[in-house]
Amino acid sequence: MNAAPSSDGIDATLAVALMPYLRSSRLLIAVSGGPDSTALMHAAARLGSAHPIQVATVDHRLRAEGGDEARSVGLTARALGLSHHILTWDGDKPSRGIQAAARHARYTLLAECAGRVGADTILTGHTADDQAETVLMRLLAGSGPGGLAGMRRERDLAPGMRLARPFLDIPKADLVAYCAAHGLVSARDPSNVDERFARARLRRLMPDLAAEGLSPERLRRLAARMARDEDALRDAACAAFTALRITADAVVLDAPPLAALPDAILIRVVGLALHEAGGGGAIRLERLERLVVDGLRPALVAGTAMRRTLRGILVDLNAEGVLSLRTAPPRRSPS
């Protein structure tokens, strides 16, 4: 068994993870009050930043204790010399999919706050344990390489604003140890062990899965490999989309060369085209596969026309070998 890292070792690990952001970014740190984000806030304050650090806590208004926990974070933040903002998720809450809805609301509120305070980077305390759980959840959901890549260390939230997870390679146990070493009190979110939620159920199963070989480390390694492969596939798809686009002011592609692309690339080219045409956010892989593998690919090979609609976008392959994507016309109401 590996020995637990020393307090000095944990401090150094956190410093290495944080310094790239502290040197140049205008930071808003998302702090729930749990050990991960508390360690993130404390370590950032100790190390210092090139710009004033802002802290925000989201009160989802789902638990009576949420307001007190947010105010407690504020006291700790101010004791560290940091400005603190409490963001509330007001309004009606959905009866189903509450965790996904809360996550969407949380990032929306954080992005709005970052815009108000002039931050360009939002830091969260996601850990290596969170990454392993995310990959396992997506594996069970049948995700492709993009989903199995797990959480990315950085992603864009809005133009000029990114979300970053500096502790994504650090085990949660190290952050708990950091809090203990520095006398930091952290909150406990009961939803983390509430087995109504899939993540909590899978967290309980993790030791048994690790005993069979599906360890958190192997799940994280899978995420790294999938991220590497997904990036390569995405780059190839972007290059093909650019090369085959006929006009810049509409989503129109030269279709015959698409038939030579492997399915993995063709699916991503069509996904890019749908997004460019106004098809909204992420599209489920199964729906893209049905469109491309069952519809577009056979039509390309046979040289026949095809028309399908997905996410309000008309995908139109004509007999002349031109593939166009545009907003679908409204459906006629029955007379």
Burial class (CB in 10 A: 0-12, 13-18, 19+), 322: middle
How, if at all, do strands 121-123 and 154-158 pair? unpaired
183 assigned binding-site residue? no
Q: Would you say 33 is a known binding-site residue? A: yes
Phi, psi of 55 (to 5 degrees): -125, 140
Contact 313, 280 (CB under 8 A): no
- 275-290 as b/e: b if 16+ CB within 10 A: bebebeeebebeebee
Residue 262 counted as an annotated binding residue: no
Report the SS3 class of residue 97. Answer: coil
| 186 belongs to an annotated ligand binding site | no
Q: How far apart are CA 53 and CA 22, in angstroms?
A: 9
36 labelled binding-site residue = yes
Q: Which residues of 196-234 are buried (b: 16+ CB within 10 A; e: fewer)?
A: eeebbebbeebeebeeeebebeebbebbeebbeebeebb
| Rounded-to-integer distance, Cα 224 and Cα 218, Å | 10
Query: Was 7 annotated as part of a binding site?
Result: no
What residue numbers does the annotated binding site cover? 32-37
What residue numbers does the annotated binding site for ATP cover? 32-37
